[in-house]
Structures are given as C-alpha cells and as structure tokens.
Amino acid sequence: MIRHSRFAYVREQLERASVSPGWPGWLFEFSVFVFKQGWACLFGALMLAALLATHFWWPVDAPIQRYDALTIYAVLVQAAMLSFRLETPREASVILIFHVVGTIMELFKTAAGSWVYPEAAVLRIGGVPLFSGFMYAAVGSYLARVWRGFDFRFTFYPPRWATWLLAVGIYVNFFAHHWVVDMRWALFAFTALLFWKCWVWFRPLSAFRSMPLLVGFGLVALFIWFAENLGTFARAWTYPSQNDGWHMVPMTKLGSWYLLMIISFVLVSLVSPIRKPEISRASRAGGPLPTPAHPAG
C-alpha cells in the first residue's frame, strides 16, 4: 500500500487486525467503517464547520468580509491536505475541475435567480464568492478519498463512454432547463438503465461488502442534502423562498443532488481505477475477495 498519509498507515493496521467472531467483530468493522467515512468527509466537514462558526461568531467590524475569509480558509485547508499527503496530486487535479465546473454553474444559477449569496465579498466573480466552488470540490474530495479508502471494485460497470455521455447530459440540463423542457426524468431513466445491474464492492476491513451503486448514489445525495441545509442555515447562500426566514431545503432538491452525484462520480473515475473483482460464492457471502481482475471498462 502506498502510504499517502498517517491515515493510510492507521488504515493499514486496522485492516490487518484480527476480528473476533460474532457481534464484537461486527462492532469493530462498523467502527472502522465510520472512521473511514469520517476521514473521507474531512474537507467537507471542515468547510461546514467554518460556515457555521463564521455565521455565529464573525465580527461585524472584521477587517475582511466573511466570504473572503472562507475562501482563504478553503485554500489553506486544500494546501494542507496536499502537504500532509491526505490527497494525491491527481485527486487534487480532479477537485480543481470540480471547482471550475461548480463555479461556472454558480455564475449561471445566481444570474437566473435560483439562489443568492447575500453577503459582500471582494474575492468573487460576479455575484459568486470564490469559496462556493470549494463546496463542489468537497464532494469530489469525498468521492476520491472514499474510493481509495474502501478499495472500490465494481461488477457490471457500464461502458465508460456511456457514463461520460450521461454526465455531459446532466450538466447541460442544469443550464438548458431554463429555456427548454427539463430532461431530468429522462436522465433519471438513463441513469437507471446504465447502472441498474452495477454493484459497488467496498472493504471496511479484510472482507468486501457490496450494495447496488444506485443505492450508494442515493445515500451520498441524502447526506449532501443534509449538508446543504446546514449551509443555508449558516446563510452561506439562500434560496428565494428563504428570504423571509430559514426553513429546510425541500426534499425535491434530492433529485438535483442525485444527478450531481453522477457528474461527480464520473469525474473521479477519470483518476480512480474501475476495477472488477472475481466474484466467488464465498465473496457473495461476505468473505474476502480474491485478487481482482484487470481494470474494467
């Protein structure tokens, strides 16, 4: 294993630990699962913590605007993650793409009135403060790190060109639905058609577990929706319906985050391997998988 960081060393030791049978073993495996998930969420968690902290405690007479401080903070966190080898340069390059793609969409959506950034900022493009792109980058950071930390493998992964076509269609629809028919239901159907047979295999410890990839997309989208509620509560951005006071973001936004997950996943797949395991009866029962085959797709 290439030790990118102290975390990689700790992870290696945990994965080699002997596991007791019965509930103590299940509890230990679940604890490691939570630890890995928490570490993968580090960038996003630090950003959310900063949004909430500055919302409650940012001085009115501070020498710089709150949004500018958040941008500087995000840059420093990203630099620290690279310096301490919590991310690889290739993963950081994909995260940079997330930042650019997200900022372009922010510029369009704010101009269209979909949401606004209610506070002033110097470090901004138009009405979009630069820290906003890091919120999209947080999703990319999570996916890249969870992919590596859980040693993802896939069965029945669709052709790569088809996933790229889907991602481009989703991104275009985020803009085009303001002028033409919203194609999101067709995109949901295309997503289901491509991925309905695909399972993701992940390894908390020595044994691989699995779930339908479509379910995995949904779970991550749900957590992003929770994070969005915290972000709007902290007035990092607001929707028009929240002008008279904060309320939870409608559950209908889950669909948008689900589609964004597809774009995120396809972008991360550019630098993360799509590997398939040799499925055996033992592995289907939850046992360790044999040495994986050559990369798929």
Q: Report the chain's mean pLDDT, rounded to a whole number.
A: 86
Nearest to 136 by CA among 66, 7, 236, 218: 236
The pLDDT score that the predictor gives to residue 17 is 65
| pLDDT confidence band for 76 (50 / 70 / 90) | very high
- Over residues 155-167, the mean pLDDT reads 96
Instruction: Determine the Cα–Cα distance for residues 264 and 109; give it in Å rounded to an integer.
Output: 18
More confident residue, 284 or 241: 241
pLDDT band per the 50, 70, 90 thresholds, residue 285: very low
Cβ(123)–Cβ(73) under 8 Å?
no
- Is the pLDDT score of 282 beyond 60? no
* Mean of pLDDT values over 235-251: 91
pLDDT at 170: 96
- Please, is 208 exposed, middle or buried when counting C-beta atoms within 10 Å of its C-beta (0-12, 13-18, 19+)? buried
Greater confidence, 199 or 99?
199
pTM: 0.84
pLDDT at 287 over 90: no
pLDDT tens-place string over residues 261-270 = 999 999 999 8
pLDDT band at 52 (very low <50, low <70, confident <90, very high): very high
What is the pLDDT, as a whole number, of residue 89?
82
Region for residue 245 given its phi and psi (left: phi exceeds 0; alpha: psi -120 to 50; beta: otherwise): left
113 Ramachandran zone, left/alpha/beta (phi>0; psi -120 to 50):
left
pLDDT average, residue stretch 75-90: 85
